[in-house]
Amino acid sequence: MMLVVGALVVGAMFYFPTSRLEKVVLLLATFSVLILELINSTVERIMDVVTSDLDDRVRIIKDLMAAIVLLASFGSAVVGLLIFLPYILELLK
């Protein structure tokens, strides 16, 4: 899902007349979410290898990693809105 959203952002980045700085910010936001998602998946797999028991500490670690990705996703969405909203509003006029 995140790859699809990332591809849409890159497509929109080239469709709208975004500046070089806007492109850099959008790419940084997109790749930060994708990288954090990979780190989250890695930590979850490691925790599954470390213990197969239901452990509250493992659950907390997994929840914190998911929260980090969620927070980065929200931040990236705000960045995307700040950059794309003026272009979209201009297109709708």
The four Cα atoms 10, 14, 18, 23 give a dihedral, to 10 degrees, of 40
With beta carbons less than 8 A apart as the criterion, state whether 9 and 26 touch.
yes
User: pLDDT digit string (tens) for 47-86?
Assistant: 989 887 888 899 999 999 999 999 999 999 999 999 999 9
Confidence of residue 92 (pLDDT cuts 50, 70, 90): very high
Q: What phi-psi label fits residue 53: left (phi over 0), alpha (psi between -120 and 50 degrees) or beta?
A: beta
- In CATH, the architecture of 2-92 is Orthogonal Bundle (1.10)
Provide the b/e sequence for 18-31 (b: ≥16 CB within 10 Å). Answer: beeebeebbeebbe
Residue 44 φ then ψ, to 5°: -60, -45
Q: pTM of the predicted model, to two decimals?
A: 0.86
* Domain parsing of the chain, residue ranges: 2-92
